[in-house]
Amino acid sequence: MGTDMALVSMGPMLKRAQAAGYGIAAFNMIDYNSARAIIEGAAAMKAPIIVQVSVKTIRHWGYKPIATWVRMLAETVEVPVALHLDHCSDGDVIRRCIDAGWTSVMFDGSSLPFAENKARSEDIYRLTEAAGVGLEAEIGAIGGVEDDKFVAEDSAILADYDECLEFVKNMPNLAVFAPAIGTAHGFYKGQPKIAYALLEKITAAVAIPIALHGGTGLSQEQFDRCIAGGCAKVNISTMHKHRFIEGFVAVRQDKPKLEEPLPFIIGQYDAMKKDVTDMIVAFGSAGKAAHAAGEDAER
């Protein structure tokens, strides 16, 4: 694989991952140190990676700084890196991300009535197809908190199978589809009830890779079953945020008198990177960079 890789679109690599039965990690970045830990963690494991960004993170840093950091970091490694917008219901933010260089975006119309979600997702699909950018779209309700939206875990609504088929019908080139299958954002309070049979049924009927939201706190067995069932994109946010804070704080606890800031940033980086490499192993994508990039697909 050549050096200076530009950012890639996640659709083709997710298709290859789904066909080969591994999952590509999608981490929600927080700042430059976090983006670096995600991308360099993936490079250390020779794994494809998706750096995704929440709307509130973009509002904090701005479009251009984030796109510049991620593109610059991607150019220093030899693994495919996609820059993705996580849950977004605002068409203006989506347009601005596309203009700034994001290679994929998520339109989340899951709180809208089905017909409206479908119609608005299709509008955004036309936009992303014209721009050569991948699209993720969601139906059903994934539990927990995402940005400022809260869905109680027990009122999370599973996607309806027939609606899934109807929803994706006019979006054949959707990069990834996110039907709610019983997982939730945040740390799980109880055992998640994952609808494996529904997942397998959707995967059998729809030729689009599936996104697994709410990756934090799932067991190896749950990851394995979801990935085997068609989930090619596995989202981790809460654990990454936790490492960001705890990695920094641990240095203060260890060295209360330290006044030099860099060891804090390094401690934070190491904690985040370790979780990234652990998850890549858990999802089976270690060593898959060339495969995901389509460079050894024939072998």
Q: Which residues would be at the binding site for ligand 13P (CB under 6 A)?
A: 28, 86-87, 146, 185-186, 213-216, 235-239
State the minimum distance, in angstroms, from the CB of residue 241 to ligand 13P: 8
Is the Cα dihedral 285, 289, 293, 294 positive or negative? negative
- State in angstroms the smallest separation of the CB of 146 from ligand 13P: 6
Q: Both tokens of residue 122?
A: 């299709």
Quote the CA–CA distance of 196 and 60 in Å, as a whole number.
37
267 annotated to a ligand binding site: no
Between residues 236 and 276, which has the closer beta carbon with respect to ligand 13P? 236
Q: Which is nearer to ligand 13P, 146 or 153 (CB)?
A: 146
Does residue 237 have a known ligand-binding role?
A: yes
Judge whether 238 is annotated as a binding position: yes
Q: Give the whole-angstrom CA distance, residue 51 versus residue 10.
A: 10
Which one from 4, 86, 224, 296 is the annotated catalytic residue? 86
Q: Is 235 annotated as a binding residue?
A: yes
CB 246 within 8 A of CB 272: no
Q: What is the CA radius of gyration of the chain?
A: 18
Choice between 101 and 186, CB closer to ligand 13P: 186
- Cα dihedral across residues 39, 44, 50, 54: positive or negative: negative
* Residue 86 known to be catalytic: yes
Shortest distance, position 255 Cβ to ligand 13P, whole Å: 30
Tokens of 290: 């060339």
Burial of residue 298 (CB within 10 Å: 0-12, 13-18, 19+) is exposed
CB of 18 to ligand 13P, least distance (A): 18
CB of 218 to ligand 13P, least distance (A): 8
The torsion defined by the Cα of 162, 163, 166 and 171, in degrees rounded to 10, comes to: -130
Own/partner pairs for 292-295, CB < 8 Å, 24+ apart? 292/13, 292/16, 292/17, 292/24, 292/47, 292/48, 292/80, 293/1, 293/8, 293/13, 293/48, 293/79, 293/80, 294/12, 294/13, 294/16, 295/1
Nearer to ligand 13P, 100 or 106 (CB): 106
Name the phi and psi angles at 174, rounded to 5: -55, 135
Is 129 marked within a binding site? Answer: no
Is 236 annotated to bind a ligand? Reply is yes
- Cβ proximity to ligand 13P: between 47 and 236 the closer is 236
Binding residues for Zn(2+): 87, 108, 138, 185, 213
Query: Which residue ranges make up the annotated binding site?
Result: 87, 108, 138, 185-186, 213-216, 235-238
Indicate the annotated binding residues for dihydroxyacetone phosphate: 186, 214-216, 235-238
Active-site residues, by number, are 86
